[in-house]
Chain A
Amino acid sequence: MLGYTIKRLIQMVVVLWAVSVIVFLMMSFTGDPVFMVVPIDATDAEIAQARRILGLDRSLPEQYFIFVQNMLQGDFGRSYVFREPALDLILERLPATLEIVLVAMAMSAIVAIPLGVYAGANPGRFSSRTIMSGSLLGISLPSFWVGMMLIFLFAVKWRIFPSSGRGDTVEILGTRWSIFTADGWTHVILPSLTLSLATMAIILRITRAGMMEVMRQDYMKFARAKGVSRRNVLYRHGLRNALIPVVTIFGLQLGDLIAFATITETIFAWPGLGKLLIDSIYRADRPVIVVYLMLVALIFVVINFLVDIVYTLIDPRITVK
């Protein structure tokens, strides 16, 4: 297990290194960053001086080396716009995204897995077919439209939930959270629901497919022959056997939502990562974009690692080596 963890850590480093190269090259080839910092009426001498101060007069490999060296020391540069360390900006926004994403993932799992088990165990029933049609809707509706409809219905028409912002927050462990206040919760529901629909539909379909496969297995019939109730046959014996692909998709969706909740965050004016990213792209705020991309890569790598660990917890035949 320890050896495996070390091996995975090395893999992580390799992936992050690759991403850092890509990010660095992207920065170097998309325009000259010096014009981001100098005033519009700067003289050639001033530009040259800025170039020297920023280290842009050195060779690319040299620049890359300094870039990595600074990153390793936690220095990702300052945001051109906010004049704050880019890393701090990102970390400040991360909890906001995490909370709507985690609530969304929990919603998806809680709704989709039981429905998927039901639809997989009773494929012929009308109710199962209704569930499956509903899930098609969940996959095909674009999130910007769902978000707007939810705002229209719940915020404008019925006035149950607010349409934007985080509401009251409370500071825990140095960051602000909405999910620990009642008002915050009312703000979390709609964006989380918007984020969850597609994931819900995908997890439902994967669970159903897995259960349909599992239902044919002898051990399901053997469990019934032991006198196990139908519910326990489905959940204790069946579901776990169908769970590997579900966990895989769950992990991918989790990373995906953290990284690309952009549209939903924009619609609900949710001050999370996605909104910061969009703003930064508009303003060509490169240091922030760089931290963002590195963070997303890190999140995906960590989630993948966790998913692999979860595999071994689900299935004893899968061992980590």
Chain B
Amino acid sequence: MKDMTETLLRVDDLRTHFHTFAGTVKAVDGVSFSLAKGEIMGLVGESGGGKSVVGFSILGLIDSPGRIESGQILFDGEDLAKASEDRMHKIRGKEIAMIFQDPMTSLNPLHPIGRQMDEMLRLHTDLDARGRRARCIRMLEDVGISQAEDRLDSYPHQFSGGMRQRVVIAIAMLAEPRLIVADEPTTALDVTIQAQILKLIRRQVREHGASMILVTHDLAVVAEMADHITVLYCGKVVERGPTRQVIDDPRHPYTAGLIASIPDPSDRKHRLDQIPGAVPDIRKLPRGCNFRDRCPRAQALCAEREPDLETQEPGRSAACHFPVEGGGT
């Protein structure tokens, strides 16, 4: 089946490695996916799974000792992995914006938020001072901050965590970017406001017709927000497909484990499932499948050969020798 929608971003065999004294960390090791215009994709995995590094790689924000070793990041046909730093300055913020995990630290504490918003518009639009100010006020109102005009002169420490994340979202949306990379945007927030912020992000992305990569460890969040899911394990894609199908009918045992560990309020008798063990030391990965030590389905073959990402059915693929059989619910 040929994808009918237009592709905005295609990441092809991306490898981002960190060269540390203790060895090379292959944080992202051959990741491929594509993102259609207007699509929200969830990028899921445990901590240390390399999902944030994918986001930073797209924006070219990998710092030494990290480096994009190979692969393509085709954004609207342009390979960002090879783009110059000058070119990236024009892309960051304008074409691709980022929402960070912790709103308590992602805003500069010494600048009023109005100035931090204005900076984005000054860099990426031709608006005059009055026009920029009007746009900032409208954007703040859009993300649900009341008395927006007065708040422009407030400093980040005068806002609560949730309000700050709204400001961060407002800054990200200001220059009308076509792609948003949201890195755990609600993880640092109180549970009570997580849902609000998620709704806000989704509404903003949809209204502006943008696409989004939602990086998270929280499958429940993805289930709520994303059109497609890509599951990462040890820097590699282990499963991907449409959200509903992957959640209801996971093929990779790792995905199945993640889903089983989501609390189900209707089922109080069972203890919460968990995946045994922890993510292996990414500097010395075992031969064969990276997940086999924690996998209930592992067999001899899994230690021999690393499974390739294979198409299971149209639009769905998983990297497993012995995929979970589609029960179909």
Chain A residues engaging chain B, CB cutoff 8 angstroms: 124, 217-219, 221-230, 237, 240-241, 314-317
Task: Determine the distance from Cα of A314 to Cα of B64 in the docked complex, in whole angstroms.
Answer: 30
Contact A222 B123 (CB under 8 A): no
Q: Please, how many angstroms separate the alpha-carbon atoms of A224 and B93 in the complex?
A: 9
CA distance A38 to B90 in the complex (A): 82
Residue among A124, A218, A224, A240 making CB contact with B64, cutoff 8 Å: A124
Q: Are A227 and B109 in contact (CB under 8 A)?
A: no
A225 touches B119 (CB 8 A): no
- Binary flags per residue of B255-287, CB closer than 8 Å to A gives 1, else 0: 000000000000000000000000000000000
Q: Report B73 CB to chain A, min CB distance, Å.
A: 15
CB neighbours (8 Å) of B83 from chain A are: none
Interface residues of B in 34-91 (CB under 8 A from A): 59, 61, 64, 85, 88-91
Closest to B154 in A: A316
Q: Would you call B89 and A229 a contact (CB within 8 A)?
A: yes
A-B contact pairs, 27 of them (CB 8 A): A218-B102, A218-B106, A219-B105, A219-B108, A219-B109, A221-B61, A222-B108, A223-B119, A224-B92, A225-B98, A225-B100, A226-B92, A226-B97, A226-B171, A227-B88, A227-B91, A227-B92, A228-B93, A228-B119, A230-B85, A237-B111, A241-B109, A241-B110, A314-B110, A316-B109, A316-B110, A316-B155
- Indicate if the CB atoms of B61 and A225 lie closer than 8 Å: yes
Q: Give which listed residue, A124, A226, A237, contacts B93 with CB less than 8 A.
A: A226
Within the assembled complex, what's the spacing in Å between the Cα atoms of A317 and B157? 7
Q: Which residues of A contact B112 (CB under 8 A)?
A: 316
Task: Tell me if B105 and A218 are in contact (CB < 8 A).
Answer: yes
Residues of B within 8 A of A228 (CB): 89, 93, 119, 123
Contact residues of A: prevailing secondary structure: helix
A315 to B110, CA, bound (A): 6
B15 at interface by CB-CB < 8 Å: no
B251 CB-CB contact with A under 8 Å: no
Complex interface: chain A residues within 8 A of B289 (CB): none
Q: Is the CB of B97 within 8 A of A225?
A: yes
- Residue of chain B at shortest CB distance from A219: B108
Q: How far is the CA of A231 from the CA of B100 in the complex (A)?
A: 22
Query: Closest approach, in angstroms, between the C-beta of B97 and any C-beta of chain A?
Result: 7
Residues on B with beta carbons closer than 8 Å to the beta carbon of A225: 59, 61, 92-93, 97-98, 100
Cβ–Cβ contact A218 & B89, under 8 A: no
Q: Provide the residues of chain A in CB contact with B93, threshold 8 Å.
A: 225-228
Most buried by B among A221, A226, A316: A226
Cα–Cα, bound, A221→B53 (Å):
13
State in angstroms the CA–CA spacing of A279 and B216 once bound together: 73
Docked CA distance A295–B6 (Å):
76
B106 touches A226 (CB 8 A): no
Inside 8 A of A227's CB, which chain B residues have their CB?
88-94, 120, 123-124
The 5 closest A-B pairs by CB, nearest first: A227-B93, A227-B92, A218-B105, A225-B98, A226-B93
